[in-house]
Structure 1
């Protein structure tokens, strides 16, 4: 897999992406809280599929959470599951379970297949909005994932297969 990084043009429209990253941070913290609560109540690990189903139900009622795509929410749940599996595997070595993050420090979310579309030249549609980016080189192969990262200048990271 080859990864390409592009910067977004500065525009006031970018605040919607920043809000989406904030919403992803809120969802992440909610998932961590559910894991901790579930373990406290049942002394068992929360299944990733159960968590995804629960979050999907909550997204219907919480409008703020709908700014993050469904596959991005599933990716958040899978990343938490991966961190817990690492914790279970290497518990003796001092690996800690995943914890809460400040929403302002939450860095990125990943769109796997849906939620974005290339419109030609240097334009991309993410959700309902169109953004422009510095296309410093051509995109080779088929794009598999798209990650929106919060940096001083917003970045788009493509994971493409050659």
Structure 2
């Protein structure tokens, strides 16, 4: 079973670094979209995501594209994965004759997130902190994380707040029936009754409004 845990980061000046990293992911996304469109115009073929990954790795060495160094290689791979999934969905919709459009450019200021897999981050759950690109960040620890963490997504909202999304893989425990019998439920409001099981006592409606009406 896959479960996602969401935590909000404490507001801090160091969070500007995460905003720069998200912007860098947005620039990389638009660059790859431009390559896709140009390649299609010239050869009427789609670019392979692995070719895009190799291309981005080479661009890191150029001063003009130094912003790509803001994020790790896994985050850049995730950008190409997103574009690949978007194009696959586009072609699937065309085959099924659904209204659709190819992936387009996005405003960098509105680009929302990037995803890391097993590298580029480290979690210190006991102290409610996470290290991303060797920078320490604190988050509101509202619960404990259960299961094996598969990915970490750094996401910002329209207000500029940043959230962490931990996608975890959890083992499903088998639930065994104790009796093997079935029971039916009837939902109604007859005589203030809420639920009427066929083998047990009726469950009355709480009637919160009537109880607190005088107050």
**CA-to-aligned-CA distance 1:71-104 (integer Å, 9 cap, x gap):** 1111110110111111111112111110000001
SS in structure 1 at match of 2:60: helix
Task: Return the structure number with greater relative CO, CA threshold 8 A, min gap 6.
Answer: 1
Aligned partner of 2:115 in structure 1 is 110
Residues 7, 133 of structure 1: 8 Å contact kept: yes
| Counterpart position of 1:98 | 103
Structure 2 Cα separation of the partners of residues 137 and 128 of structure 1: 24
TM-score normalized with structure 2 length? 0.73
Q: Which structure is larger by alpha-carbon Rg, 1 or 2?
A: 2
Listed as ranges, the gaps of 5+ residues in structure 1 are none
Q: Which residue of 2 aligns with 1:154?
A: 162
Report SS of the residue matched to 1:143: strand
CA displacement 1:123-157 (0-9 Å, x = unmatched): 11000210000011011112110000112321001
Aligned length: 162
Q: CA deviation at 1:60?
A: 2.7
Output one character per residue of 1:7-40: Cα deviation in whole Å (capped at 9) or x when no partner.
Answer: 0000000000000000000000000000001111
Long gaps (5+) in structure 2: 171-215
State whether structure 2 residue 60 is matched by structure 1 residue 59: yes
Normalising by structure 1, what TM-score?
Answer: 0.96
Contact 1:145–1:160 (CA<8 Å) still a contact in 2? yes
Cα distance in 2 for partners of 1:60, 1:130 equals: 27
Partner of 1:74: 77
CA RMSD for the aligned pairs? 1.0
**More helix per residue: 1 or 2?**
1
